[in-house]
Structure 1
Amino acid sequence: MIEEGRRRAYLDAMQINTWLPRCELPFAAPSRPELLQPIVVRTDAVPEPAVALEVLQASVVPASEPVAERPSVRTIPPAAKGLSLAERIKQGIGKGNTPAQPAVSVQAPAAEVVEDAAAAPASAPAAPPRFTLQLARAGKCLLLVDLPTGEPFQRRDPAYLLLKDILRAAGLTDSPEWIGEPVRWPQFAGTNFDQGPAAARDYVQGFIAGRMDAGDRCHCLWLVGHAAVRFAGNGDQDSYDTEMQIDGLGTGFAMPGLEDIMDEPQRKASLWKAMRSIRQRWLEQQE
């Protein structure tokens, strides 16, 4: 599989504007929902010109046939002849009017209502989340870092250089040791397996717990980025710069993503303030 930017460059070179894959591609931009919806044929659409012309011709009276003249004054019903003028006006009779008829409410049969509700398409399931997480070790801490581009860090990447500065300020080694391959989600593209947020959270937490059981013990689990905070610590953006307890994983420290810190440098102040209050957790263990 190739990344999204290179895929789009190939399509532009082949002068292909619209293209849909046979199955869901990992790390590809989501398709527009309106392109995947079936075309709905309306039954109450305007009739075609030929049909409309026939209806118009049928409604026109031929010139050869005489048109019957309508009476200018309507006759009063026999039952109303004995009534006074006030009673006729009260009942709406006279001067071309007929007695008012009671309104009749027309309701659709219950069976038709049930059929229309059954025919309505059910809401489509939520699309599986897409993220790439990399696990690393720095001293007595484990780091779960969100990779926005889906590719591992290079030595000269600005985000990686920022991570080294943060680790150095925290009193840890500035050369983290990457553990295994990145965790990519969804795992099974083009299948019917449940790959929603709950399944992704279970997978990420199980992956980290498995590494801890294999010997990668830690005194604090750093969650770097929104995807790491959400699927490893069950938190959100309000959890940034805070310490949290994670069932089965111990103590976690949530912080914004590296890209967010570079875009908003004012986040560094709140991050450093939160880190100073909890960094004794791993500094005491290293002494």
Structure 2
Amino acid sequence: MIDEQQRRAYLGAMQVTTWLPRTVLPFAAPSRPELLTLPAVAAEPPRSRPQPIARQAQAAQLGPEASVVDKPAAPRKIAVLPLKSASGKAAAPQVEASAAVAVVRREPPPRFALQLLRAGNCLLLVELPSGELFASRDPAYRLLKDLLRAAGLPDSPRAVGEPIRWPLIRGNREFDQGPAAARDYVRAVVQGQLEQEPAVCVWLVGTPAARFAGEEDEVAACREVALGGLGSAWTLPGLDQLMEAPPLKAELWHSMRRAMRRWTSEQ
């Protein structure tokens, strides 16, 4: 049994101000006599009921209207609306939630391989046609050397870092590797190289290089473009495309003559 102080603390926490024990509690304070006195209940006066004869006489005096008033009122009929099932209420939010999830779809990751090269005061971002590093006897690499000699740049470019291969993490569907993520990654790599060693012009060789280093999905070849925050760039067709379509070399040569002022004036 608990003592009086703890008992009052518990009762106060339960907001009980007046209480009476059913039995004598040990260690309890004596009860106050005024709490044991029950208030007197006032007796209600008996209701007088009219005698049947008097009611008949009164009805006869008032006329036929009195009998209509004495009739009990008929119970009103309350229209009961059918209740909707709980399953019907829960189905609507589930359908809306599933529709919202279906709208969010990730674009498939693009596939490409790019290599950063240094040639004089220019930085080259070149698409690797085979996905592997250039070899000295690779026809695409020899074509690139010819382009550098025609542009007045060293024909032995220096590789910078490892190739940029996308998707970055293969077989991972939880990580977003869509076109927007690829663009952010490629631009971050190019920006990091320009911060370490500035360049007067960036060559973007191949469609993936022009697309993911720039800010637009489709960039025409043989054009001078401005890369937001990365300086000036010159777009070129892919090396494999130049080998398959020789007429593109004439258009490339005319575009090169206009763009050469960017790197020849700095030498």
TM-score range, shorter chain: 0.5 to 0.7
Show the counterpart of 1:122.
Answer: 102
For residue 178 of structure 2, the aligned residue among 196, 205, 209 is 196
Residues 112-162 of structure 1: per-residue CA shift (max 9 Å, x gap): 999889878937532111111100000000000001221011101110000
Whether the aligned pair in 2 keeps the contact of 1:221 and 1:251 (CA below 8 Å) is yes
Residues 248-267 of structure 1: per-residue CA shift (max 9 Å, x gap): 21000011100001111100
Mean Cα deviation higher: 186-195 or 141-150: 186-195
Residues 225-263 of structure 1: per-residue CA shift (max 9 Å, x gap): 010000002345552101011112100001110000111
Whether the aligned pair in 2 keeps the contact of 1:209 and 1:249 (CA below 8 Å) is yes
Q: Indicate how the Cα distance of structure 1 residues 113 and 201 shifts in structure 2: closer, same or farther if over 3 A, else same.
A: same
- Alignment of 1:228 onto 2:209: yes
In structure 1, the gaps of 5 or more residues are: 1-108
Show the counterpart of 1:276.
Answer: 257
With structure 1 as the length reference, what TM-score do the two structures score? 0.57
Show the counterpart of 1:257.
Answer: 238
How far apart are the structure 1 equivalents of 2:108 and 2:262?
Answer: 39
Q: Give 1:27-38 correspondences, 5 Å limit.
A: none
Whether the aligned pair in 1 keeps the contact of 2:200 and 2:232 (CA below 8 Å) is yes
Identical aligned residues as a percent: 52
Whether the aligned pair in 1 keeps the contact of 2:151 and 2:260 (CA below 8 Å) is yes
Whether the aligned pair in 1 keeps the contact of 2:215 and 2:228 (CA below 8 Å) is no
Whether the aligned pair in 2 keeps the contact of 1:223 and 1:229 (CA below 8 Å) is yes
How far apart are the structure 1 equivalents of 2:239 and 2:261?
Answer: 23
- How far apart are 1:194 and its partner, in Å? 1.2
Whether the aligned pair in 2 keeps the contact of 1:226 and 1:236 (CA below 8 Å) is no
Secondary structure in structure 2 of the residue aligned to 1:135? strand
Q: Indicate how the Cα distance of structure 1 residues 236 and 174 shifts in structure 2: closer, same or farther if over 3 A, else same.
A: farther
How far apart are the structure 1 equivalents of 2:217 and 2:146?
Answer: 24
Q: Give 1:174-213 correspondences, 5 Å limit.
A: 174-191=155-172, 192-213=174-195
User: Which structure has the greater CA radius of gyration?
Assistant: 2
Q: Name the aligned partner's letter for residue 122 of structure 1.
A: A
Whether the aligned pair in 1 keeps the contact of 2:210 and 2:219 (CA below 8 Å) is no
For residue 142 of structure 1, the aligned residue among 123, 128, 136 is 123
Q: Indicate how the Cα distance of structure 1 residues 262 and 164 shifts in structure 2: closer, same or farther if over 3 A, else same.
A: same
Q: Name the aligned partner's letter for residue 228 of structure 2.
A: D
Show the counterpart of 1:155.
Answer: 136
Q: Indicate how the Cα distance of structure 1 residues 207 and 238 shifts in structure 2: closer, same or farther if over 3 A, else same.
A: closer
In structure 2, the gaps of 5 or more residues are: 1-87
Show the counterpart of 1:44.
Answer: none
Show the counterpart of 2:64.
Answer: none
How far apart are the structure 2 equivalents of 1:252 and 1:260?
Answer: 20
With structure 2 as the length reference, what TM-score do the two structures score? 0.61
Superposed CA RMSD in Å reads 2.3
How far apart are the structure 1 equivalents of 2:163 and 2:250?
Answer: 29
How far apart are the structure 2 equivalents of 1:133 and 1:234?
Answer: 17
Mean Cα deviation higher: 233-242 or 157-166: 233-242
Q: Indicate how the Cα distance of structure 1 residues 283 and 273 shifts in structure 2: closer, same or farther if over 3 A, else same.
A: same
Q: Aligned pair count?
A: 177
Q: Give 1:74-113 correspondences, 5 Å limit.
A: none
Show the counterpart of 1:30.
Answer: none
